[in-house]
Amino acid sequence: MSMACFKRLRMEIKSMSDDPDIFLESSESDIRRWKAHIRGPPGTPYEGGVFELDLTVGMQYPLVPPAVTFVTRVFHPNVHFTTGAICLDVLSRAWTPAWGLQATCRALLALLSDPAADSPLNCDAGNMIRAGDACAFESMARMYTLEHAARDMPRRAGS
Amino acid sequence: MESSERDQEEATSESAKKLQEYEATVAQQNAIQEEIKKAQPLVGKAVSPSALSPEYTDNVKPGFLKGIEYLSKRYARLRPVRGDGNCFYRALTFALLENLVLKLRSGDAAAAQAAKAEAQRLVDKGKPMKESCQTLLSLGYEEVSFDMFSAELLEALEGIETTTPESLEAKFNEDGGSGEYIMWFCRLLTSAFIKSHPSRFESFLIGDTVDTFCAREVEPLGVECEQLQIIALCEQLDIGVRIEYLNGEDFDASKGLDAVPVNMDGRQEAAAELLFRPGHYDILYTA
């Protein structure tokens, strides 16, 4: 079963559906290293931004989740502001092998839409939301979106 | 922009602490899992049930040692299974397959024939494989998400006649190996049954839908199961199991512990005999 992760990744590549909000691309030299770009969801302070993620798939994938971090700086209670580390249950204990890389990206889009202020890796963001100051949180998040994430989704080669 | 960023960097020292705490928690959880891995094989060697006694010599509850004494008379052997939260699913799948292997190799032609038929039922017209995969697809699971897992169970069942008890043990003892794939597929089969019978289960799920319950309490690896999941898996596989409960409560030794049948109506034989101790399942053998 040691090759299982490669087999699974090849199957995922074949079955990836077109999603205008997610661009996933594996490294040319290593199928276990991936880059994703996800589009900030409309109606959130991340709207208009495109966020880059780094995904690394371990040999025991899909029994264990991929390691995912934000490369693009983002102001969000569950994302560490400088390291990009993400606190999300489905990337740790709640992971299930039924998920794939695309589903993982969808979970991160959901996280951008629905921050959980009670398990913050970014305390400032968490505190603003917990204090009920949505306005402050949103303006900070929007500012960083404009500053770091204002770009277009990458285009797939040949399309 | 740069100065605002610096303010933000300073303001995140609290966040740095949070990150450290978070990483420490993750590291600690991993360390516990590593300890368990080192100390317990996924599927251990069968021993006498009395081998459990040392764990309970100082236990204040009278039922443990007394119960172990009873189990030692009633059962020939006990096979310990790694206690990583997956023990029920692993114990059940291993015992189910091992029982088939043992019957096929027993020299008893009728038993071998029955085992062959049972393996075929599970592969073929029975619920687990073809029908279960259809159920999963109709529930919205993508084939790519379970294909490799169902393939492992299918392969184990189709190859049952050439399987030895030793090769089965080896299969189940590879970390991240075939046995783990089969074990997780049984979690998915559990989900499939619960999700396709929502009216039967929803009243037991406080504040949950069948979907949220399965996403949290069934499908993730390492999440322990309760009675509800056991019933669901047995019904999905169309098998019965018997579970001895050793919980430390005193009992009438002349009557023995209560071996609880699950989905045994109309069946003579259990696909697996299991032992429950608080938080853990192991496999029992009458012979």
Q: Please list the alpha-helical segments (H only) found in B57-177.
A: 63-74, 87-104, 109-123, 132-138, 143-158, 165-172
> Are B144 and A15 within 8 A, CB to CB?
yes
The whole-angstrom distance between residue B223's C-alpha and the CA centroid of its chain comes to 10
B3 interface with A at CB cutoff 8 Å: no
Assign A36 to helix, strand or coil. strand
Contact predicate B202/B209, CB 8 Å = yes
CATH of the domain at B267: 1.20.1300.20
Decide if pLDDT at A37 tops 70.
yes
Contact predicate B238/B126, CB 8 Å = yes
> Are B180 and A121 within 8 A, CB to CB?
no
Contact predicate A83/A69, CB 8 Å = yes
**B259 φ/ψ angles, rounded to the nearest 5 degrees:** -80, 115
> Are A11 and B148 within 8 A, CB to CB?
yes
B214 in any annotated domain: yes
pLDDT in tens, B147-170: 899 999 999 999 999 999 999 999
B16 in any annotated domain: no
Is the domain spanning A3-148 CATH 3.30.420.40? The answer is no
Q: Report the residue from B14, B143, B180 with minimal CB separation from A63.
A: B180
pLDDT in tens, A50-92: 999 999 999 999 999 999 999 999 999 999 999 999 999 999 8
> What does the pLDDT read at residue B32?
81
B264 in any annotated domain: yes
Contact predicate A16/A3, CB 8 Å = no
> What does the pLDDT read at residue A159?
46
**DSSP character for A84?**
-
Choose, out of A5, A121, A129, the residue to mutate when testing the contact with B (most B CBs < 10 Å): A121
ipTM above 0.90, yes or no: no
Number of structural domains found in chain B:
1
B36 interface with A at CB cutoff 8 Å: no
Token pair of A140, please? 């900070």
Domain of residue B212: give its range.
40-286
> Are B14 and A123 within 8 A, CB to CB?
yes
Give how far A16 is from chain B: nearest CA, Å: 10
What mean pLDDT is predicted for residues A107-130?
91
B188 in any annotated domain: yes
Contacts of B180 in chain A (CB under 8 A): 1, 63
What mean pLDDT is predicted for residues B254-274?
91
- In chain A, the N- to C-terminal Cα span, in Å, equals 36
pLDDT-based confidence at residue B216 (cuts at 50, 70, 90): very high
B29 in any annotated domain: no
Q: Tell me the β-bridge partners of A26.
A: A34
